[in-house]
Amino acid sequence: MPTAREALLDAALAAVTGRPWPTVRMVDVAAAAGVSRQTLYNEFGSKDGLARALVRRAADAYLDGVERALGSAGGTGDKLAATAAWTVRATRTNVLVRGLLTGCWGDRLPCPADLVRSPRFPIPAQRPADAGPPTPAELLGQVRDRAVAVLDGGRPPHDPAALAVTCELALRLALSYALVPAPAGTEGEVAPLVSHVVERAPDAAA
């Protein structure tokens, strides 16, 4: 059974999926979660606090999926194909992940200016802590670097820069599907496309 906090976050995500965030009322989120409005304020403090938690949860869930994909069976091509497929699926099923990966926030989504980043999103030294959520370029770079670290383990000497380029290509192919969605039910087409590219990339041996 979900905790009150998780129920509230689920209710908030359902609300923002259906209507603009500025029109979402705290009392409606609390009612949908089956708790009192006071419980909501006790958990998050304010609507901005709820927004921060909502975006952070979406980001962490996406990164957890990346870890699972990179830990799947197979070689470099298989792991990157799984990561790309997960990225496309995540952007299709969660509007906040789509915002994080594409920068397409608009005024419909909660994107508080003072969003505090979790440790999963280390803040670059040149950017202030209140600069908002990670930019798509920062997030892509973090996922790319994580992919390189995982794929580099136990491999023979090679060119790390070439592996980084291969990982970034796979991620950018996935993001192209996020920006220009494939027809419903064909998200998996990105996986063979990534496998095809990886097989022909330098230093992409399993």
Distance CA 172, CA 180 (A): 12
Percent of the chain with pLDDT over 90: 38
- What is the pTM (predicted TM-score) of this model? 0.82
Q: Locate tokens 């709820």: which residue?
A: 50
DSSP 87: H
CA 52 to chain centre: 14
Does residue 59 surpass a pLDDT of 60?
Answer: yes
* Span 142-158, pLDDT tens digits: 899 999 988 876 455 56
Question: Coil, strand or helix: which one is 79?
Answer: helix
CB 59 within 8 A of CB 133: yes
What value does the mean pLDDT take over residues 16-31? 92
Q: Which domains does the chain have, with CATH numbers?
A: 1-45 (1.10.10.60), 59-200 (1.10.357)
* Span 160-176, pLDDT tens digits: 788 888 899 999 999 98
Please report which confidence band the pLDDT of residue 35 belongs to, taking 50, 70 and 90 as the band edges.
very high
* Span 80-117, pLDDT tens digits: 999 999 999 999 889 999 989 988 877 788 865 544 44
Distance CA 180, CA 169 (A): 16
Beta carbons within 8 Å of 178's beta carbon, 6+ residues apart:
87, 88, 91, 92, 98, 101, 102
